[in-house]
Structure 1
C-alpha cells in the first residue's frame, strides 16, 4: 500500500501540475514577466511524464488547457504497474481547476479530479486510486523553459520534470 501512496502522489505532480525563439528561461528578469508568460501559456499543451521506483512504474500523457480567465482543464491517461507481479493498469483522468503564476512558478489548484480504471476494475477493491486523492490539490512547478511551442516544468515537491508541446 505504501507504493500506491507514493505512485499516487507522483501522479498528482505529473498530471496536476502539464524551447525555441522568444523563449523564457527561469533565470530571466523580465519586467513584464507575468503577462509575457501568461500569453504564451494560454491554450492547450500535450504533456508527458514518467516515473520508476522500487518496481513501481508510471507513465502519463495528458492535455492541459490554460484559459485566460485562470481556469484549467486536464484530460489524459495514466499507466501504472505497482510491482512486476501485478498487471499494468490503464486509467483515464479528467480534472478541472485554476492556475496562476508566482515568481517563475506555475501554481495549479485542482478542485475536481476523476480517475477511471479502464483495464482492471477488480483492482479498485484493493487499491482504489480515487480514495487516495484529496478533494482539492495544489501543485507548484518551476517554469524551466517556455516558448510558443514547448513548455518544461519541474515539480517543486518531487523535483520531477514534465515536458509539454503546444497542441496544434
Structure 2
C-alpha cells in the first residue's frame, strides 16, 4: 500500500489499496471523494473559494470551483462513476480572528461554502464533514473503503 501525498493547492487520485494524505489544512479544505464500487479515491487540497480573472488556468486545484470538476474527471478516467461518488470534507477553520473582521477574512468558512456549492452542481452527496473551528488538520483518505482519518492537535484522531 502506498500513501500518495497531496500538497497545498494540489489534487490526486488513488485506487485500492493505496491512500491519499494531505497536511496543513487550516482555512484550506480537503475534498475527499470516493467511488465504493470502483474503489477509486480522489483528494483535493483547496486554498480559496473561487478563481477570478482567469487565475485558475495557472492552478486549477487551488480553487473549489475548478478543483471539483478536475478531480471528478480524473476519477472517471480510472473507472469511477459520478452517480456513485460520495464526498467527505475537512478543514475550513477560522485560524485567526480580528476585531471588525470583514467577510473577505472569513477564508475558512467561505472555502467550505464554495466546496459545498461545487459538489452540489455535480449532485455529489456529502456523507461526513469535520469543518470549521480554529485548529489545523491532517487527513488521509483510504482508497480501499473511503474512510477519512482526521488528525488534529487539539481534538486527536477521528475517522469519518
Task: Give the TM-score of the pair, scaled to structure 2.
Answer: 0.28
Q: Larger helix proportion, structure 1 or 2?
A: 2
**Higher Rg of the two aligned structures:** 1
Higher normalized strand content (fraction of residues): 1
TM-score of the pair, normalised by structure 1: 0.27
